[in-house]
Amino acid sequence: SQQGEEDPQALSIQEGENATMNCSYKTSINNLQWYRQNSGRGLVHLILIRSNEREKHSGRLRVTLDTSKKSSSLLITASRAADTASYFCATGPNSGNTPLVFGKGTRLSVIA
């Protein structure tokens, strides 16, 4: 069963706008990760936030984590057409040797 659930399922925005995706999870976690999947490709790791962190930045990406609410958000600023992809959150109880549990993903479309 999915641990993380992304919201919304689909999002369509204009180029230059910001895109926000949310993820909720059910059990205690060690870290939460976000991945991107372009159509027909494998998943690519974007960013990892540990349970003792509240916010993390990487380029145009900003991730927040609220462990009290068991939720995370991914913000993509100044979106580009190349950001069109599906985005997944993934959670795991330990680091590096146990499976990640993935949500169903948010499908982002950035219109030029």
Partner 1 sequence: NAGVTQTPKFQVLKTGQSMTLQCAQDMNHNSMYWYRQDPGMGLRLIYYSASEGTTDKGEVPNGYNVSRLNKREFSLRLESAAPSQTSVYFCASSTPSTPQFTFGSGTRLTVV
The residue within the footprint of partner 1, chosen from 39, 59, 69, 96 (CB under 8 A), is 96
Pick between residue 33 and residue 71 the one whose CB is nearest to partner 1: 33
40-66 residues labelled b (16+ CB within 10 A) or e (exposed): eeebeebbebeeeeeebeeeebbbebe
Closest to partner 1 by CB, 59 vs 99, is: 99
| Distance in angstroms (rounded) separating the CA atoms of residues 89 and 52 | 17
**Is residue 41 close enough to count as binding partner 1 by CB under 8 A?**
yes
- Residue in 12, 51, 58, 95 binding partner 1, rule: CB under 8 A: 95
**Smallest gap from residue 54 Cβ to partner 1 (A):** 19
Residue with tokens 């380029």: 59
N-term to C-term CA, the chain: 36
Distance of CA 74 to the CA centre of its chain: 5
Candidates 1, 17, 78, 108: give the one binding partner 1 (CB under 8 A): 1
Would you tell me which residues interact with partner 1 (CB under 8 A)? 1-2, 30-31, 33, 35, 40-45, 48, 88, 90, 92, 95-105
